[in-house]
Amino acid sequence: MTRSYFLRIATLVLLMISDISILLQATEYTYYYHSDSHVSYYYTPETHCWIFPKSCVKKSDQVSAYTKVSKRLFNKDAFWLFTKPSSKKEEDQALAIVKYQAADQIVFDAKKNILSLHGASVLDYDKMKLEAHAVALDVNAHTIHSKGKKDLHNKPIENPIFTYKDIKKDKYGKDGAEKTRIFFMEEIHYNIDTKRALAYKLLTKQEDAIIKSEQVKKEDEETFYAKDVYFTTCTLERPHFYLRTKRSKLVQDKQITTGPFYFSFDDVPTPLGCFFGVLFLEGKRKHGIIPPSEITESSDEDGGKGFCIRNIGYYINFNDYADNSFLLSLYTNLDIEFENKFRYKKKYLCQGNIDYAQNHSGEEKNWSLAWKHIPKTRGNRSLRVEARIHSKGYKKRFDDEGEHKKKSSTEESESTGSLAYTDKLVGLPYTLSANLDYKINHNSNFKHFTLPKGVLSATWHPFKGDKSESGFKAWFHNIKLQHNIDFENHFQNLKKEPRLSEKVNEEDSKALTKVKWNEYREYGINHTLPLNTTGKLFKYFNLTPNFTYKETWYWKRLDWKKRVFKRKESEPMQISGFNRVWSYNFGGSLHTTLYHFQYFSKEQFMQGLRITTTPTMTFTYTPDFSKEKYHYFEETINDKGEKKAEYKFENFKPAHSLMTRAQSVLAFKLENKVHLKVKKEIDSNTKKKQKASRKIVLIKNIDFSTKYDFEEKKRPLDDINIYIASETEMLKIGPVGATAGFGLTTTFDPYHPIASKENDKHTTEKESFDFDFAWNHGGYLGKLIKRKLKINMKLQSTTEEKHKKKALLSDDSELDKIDEKDKKTDFDNSWSFGCDFGMDITRKRLYEKDEIDENAYTKDKYREGDVRYRHNYVNLEVEFTLLKKWKFSLDTSYDFDTRKLKEDDTKFTIARDLHCWLLSYKCYPLKEKRKYEFSLGAKANILKKLKLPRKREFLKLK
């Protein structure tokens, strides 16, 4: 019995000494799996790239089946992984299947519940994926440990690549699109439950920022603490520049906060740095420092204020609906500009912003306040507010995009505001839209207030519901009646607003301040009732008859017989009393659409032709309301004894203009379009179904238009207008891509004037001319009085790879990134040439309208002469690459009339691609103040504020 126990104990010891070889062989097929090849990602300096290695396939060496899990995987420094963070509440986590594979072996320790993967291993759990040479999963502790290995040359290979998917937050903290994040490292310890991790020699990319750290501790799903951090946007193994700091904190998609840091260029440390740094990433923000948008010397347009630090400030996000920005601009001459921007937005309700700004220059202090409130269409009521008031000397130097704002005399001299209210009146068919406006001119002290100006509108379809049982819809079912009531009430302290070009005397400006704001008043009510319907005529024609009645109420009129003399000028006297002005017109329109198809063989390049023609005729009749029975006009006699009909309600508000004669106008318009169906090249590489043909626009417009007035006796036919336009898409002719387009507008005068024999041909009176059609005198369509031609063309080199990449992408965000890159300097295209040619010629008639033809009832006068107005120009844009990564461009415009280059449009640019930096130089050599701009800045958007601009202007030497 004792011997039996002794033999059993001896056997057990031998098994332990032989490292349980017999048991391992018996369970070889249960715990051991082998794969011939496996794709593994590794990082090595030989790839010359921080993020993405050139090769992703590497044959890993076989690992012995007896190799045990390294104790280094269970680092004692990582014991804090097993404790949950106290700030987070425990949440029930859903179960997920663990998928794993290995190139060499898979070993599971049943006693310790540890799964070991050796070789090129992959472990996939939920939204997490880990690829490495060695992976260990502790089932009890829910932790993962992984590391890579080194080759014969002691270089790390098959390092861990940690990938997981999460939901990216937007700036309001709401869930956005799913994003995949990738981390490269040499060793990692990760807790599945708490999401805590400890990684060594980590490398990752957040937006455009590349971050490399010796040791990183992941506190939770968003917070990372890093030690000995390198930050850059350069993708080379040895970056051109980087920012280095000993410690840093990264909040995912929010910001990067660092301790003392400094810049290094080509591994050379520089004194450029700071005691702390904050870099905001794209994502949700709560608060933080806003870095300066520009640090440069102010231009002469700013008055030479010296060196400037512009738009440095602080950002506060109150909640999901409101935020605020404090911005400050400092100049070396002690001038200060302060701006506070408050924004608010409520989904489905409203959005707006309130901006307040102050400028301090010496003892002078100016301010500006602007409020913009935009409601969303919701319910029956809405209120829109837009106001802008400022002191007299306030000037806004930069626009909202940061570019230098061009001086605008209107904005600097006027304060304006408006309040718009809309209400769908409950119980009534009317909708109310009312506006309150004001305008104050600080130079002339002119004030104008509109209190209020509004519209009441309603629409009725009286026969809309009276359809037959079969669903037949007759013409009277489409009858529509509208009623619009326009009411206006204007107050101002001057009868007529002074023009911007007029100089205002200081005495007149001061005197105007004593005048009441409501010294002059204009008010009235206008009723408009349009009635129309739509029906079919002869099955293929669309007929739209209409009738419009208009009536306006005024509480004063002009008496031209009684005049008031003011400043040596006579004006008609205003007589108070209720006045009613009414008018009407009727007419209709008739149009249809015609198609012509021509088909060819499918084997030919041109497979089909389609011509679309749309003729339209419109007729309008308006009676003569200048007759004495209507009492709207008053006949006067001027100093020369000439009779003239004066309108009693001239320039009143709301306006109701009337003609001095009847009108019976028939307008005709013919529109044509030509489309081609051509053979399409099929890409054999794609598996998707492709159409064998595509449609291109050969001629976009061929339009003819004119009109005929039956009530006009001398010249019933109006000018004949012809418009032709076309544009082509990108066409590839070998390595060259071409786009082209043109537009031609012509106007013909169909009449030829003939002077009466009894009168001098140099007379300017209309009655002295007789008119005949120009084609009766060999003029074809008539005299060409206006011709406007514009031709544009662009040739450039094309790269097949760029177009293929853009075609294969399906994600809109990726397409937006490519489109954003297209706006920048493109170094891939070796050359491009663009040309715009314009020609505008206006030939004045032998009979020309007088300058006072603003009113409809002014008589026409004629002059002899054929004076031409000509404006011909050509714009050129040339880009070419002489040396690699050097781009030269020239933009200019030549005026054929002055035979000179346009000074403001002529510039040349030199750009140099410095991999992660961009150097550019712009020069305006022909300006009155010669100007050049130099800029050196980072290419990445995340560091777009990091640039060195330089601007200079010089006067020409005479």
Adjacent-strand bridge partners of 1: none
> What pLDDT is stored for residue 179 in this prediction?
79
Share of the chain above pLDDT 90, in %: 17
Q: What's the token pair of residue 462?
A: 């009286």
Torsion on CA atoms 98, 101, 107, 112, rounded to nearest 10 = -20
| Element spanning 232, H or E | strand 223-232
Number of Cα atoms under 13 Å in the Cβ half of residue 191: 20
Of the pLDDT bands very low, low, confident and very high (cuts 50, 70, 90), residue 68 is: very low
Higher pLDDT, 188 or 12: 188
Higher pLDDT, 118 or 606: 118
Asked if residue 690 has pLDDT above 80, the reply is no
> What pLDDT is stored for residue 816 in this prediction?
42
Around Cβ 441, how many Cβ atoms within 10 Å? Answer: 21
Of the pLDDT bands very low, low, confident and very high (cuts 50, 70, 90), residue 308 is: confident
Asked if residue 445 has pLDDT above 50, the reply is yes
> What pLDDT is stored for residue 763 in this prediction?
47
Q: What's the pLDDT tens digit per position in 715-755?
A: 899 999 999 998 877 667 667 778 888 899 999 888 877 76
In contact, 902 and 894? CB cutoff 8 Å: yes
Higher pLDDT, 490 or 944: 490
Q: For residues 868 and 783, give the distance between their C-alpha atoms in angstroms, rounded to a whole number.
A: 13
Higher pLDDT, 689 or 165: 165
Give the E-state strand segments of 690-818 in sequence order: 693-699, 701-709, 720-727, 731-733, 736-749, 751-755, 769-773, 783-797
Q: What is the mean pLDDT of residues 245-252?
A: 86
Higher pLDDT, 664 or 439: 664
Higher pLDDT, 863 or 929: 929
> What pLDDT is stored for residue 743 in this prediction?
92
In contact, 209 and 161? CB cutoff 8 Å: no
Asked if residue 297 has pLDDT above 70, the reply is no
> What pLDDT is stored for residue 441 in this prediction?
80
Q: What is the mean pLDDT of residues 895-914?
A: 87
- CATH code of the domain occupying 15-85+98-285: 2.60.450.10
Asked if residue 481 has pLDDT above 70, the reply is yes
Asked if residue 217 has pLDDT above 50, the reply is yes
Q: What is the mean pLDDT of residues 784-801?
A: 80
Q: For residues 117 and 106, give the distance between their C-alpha atoms in angstroms, rounded to a whole number.
A: 5
Around Cβ 852, how many Cβ atoms within 10 Å? Answer: 9
> What pLDDT is stored for residue 934 in this prediction?
83
In contact, 331 and 303? CB cutoff 8 Å: no
Of the pLDDT bands very low, low, confident and very high (cuts 50, 70, 90), residue 457 is: very high
Asked if residue 552 has pLDDT above 90, the reply is yes
The runs of H, that is alpha helices, within 27-112 are 28-31
Asked if residue 193 has pLDDT above 50, the reply is yes
Distances (CA, A) of 51 to 303, 304, 889: 48, 46, 34
Q: For residues 929 and 868, give the distance between their C-alpha atoms in angstroms, rounded to a whole number.
A: 33
> What pLDDT is stored for residue 128 in this prediction?
86
| Element spanning 670, H or E | strand 663-679
Question: For the packed helices 812-822 and 800-808, what is the interaxial angle rounded to 10 degrees?
Answer: 150
Of the pLDDT bands very low, low, confident and very high (cuts 50, 70, 90), residue 40 is: very low
> What pLDDT is stored for residue 617 in this prediction?
95
> What pLDDT is stored for residue 97 in this prediction?
83
**Tokens 């080509």 label which residue?**
266
Asked if residue 713 has pLDDT above 50, the reply is yes
Share of the chain above pLDDT 70, in %: 71
> What pLDDT is stored for residue 398 in this prediction?
56
Q: What's the pLDDT tens digit per position in 575-613?
A: 888 999 999 999 999 999 999 998 888 778 788 899 999
**Tokens 């489309």 label which residue?**
675
Most confidently modeled range among 160-174, 437-451, 680-694:
437-451
Q: What is the mean pLDDT of residues 215-228?
A: 88
> Chain-wide mean pLDDT for the chain?
75
Q: What is the mean pLDDT of residues 770-781?
A: 78
Around Cβ 36, how many Cβ atoms within 10 Å? Answer: 6
Q: Name which of 184, 185, 153, 158 is nearest 59 in CA terms.
A: 158
Residues, the chain: 958
Q: What is the mean pLDDT of residues 709-718?
A: 88
> What pLDDT is stored for residue 666 in this prediction?
95
Asked if residue 187 has pLDDT above 60, the reply is yes
Q: What is the mean pLDDT of residues 271-281?
A: 77
> What pLDDT is stored for residue 235 in this prediction?
85
Asked if residue 39 has pLDDT above 60, the reply is no
Of the pLDDT bands very low, low, confident and very high (cuts 50, 70, 90), residue 427 is: confident
Residue ranges per structural domain of the chain: 15-85+98-285, 286-399
Of the pLDDT bands very low, low, confident and very high (cuts 50, 70, 90), residue 767 is: low
> What pLDDT is stored for residue 725 in this prediction?
92
What string of DSSP letters covers 260-275? SEEEEETTEEEEEEES
Q: What is the mean pLDDT of residues 162-191?
A: 78
Q: What is the mean pLDDT of residues 790-814?
A: 57
Higher pLDDT, 855 or 911: 911
Q: For residues 618 and 663, give the distance between their C-alpha atoms in angstroms, rounded to a whole number.
A: 13
Q: Name which of 636, 553, 626 is nearest 857 in CA terms.
A: 626
Q: What's the token pair of residue 447?
A: 């004030």
Q: What's the token pair of residue 183?
A: 């981390």
Q: What's the pLDDT tens digit per position in 613-641?
A: 999 999 999 999 988 888 888 888 777 77
Asked if residue 703 has pLDDT above 90, the reply is yes
Q: What is the mean pLDDT of residues 379-389?
A: 82
Higher pLDDT, 553 or 309: 553
* Euclidean distance between the first and the last CA atom of the chain, given in angstroms as a whole number: 125
Q: What's the pLDDT tens digit per position in 831-877?
A: 888 889 998 888 766 555 433 233 322 333 334 445 567 788 899 88
Asked if residue 18 has pLDDT above 50, the reply is no
Give the three-class secondary structure for 60: coil
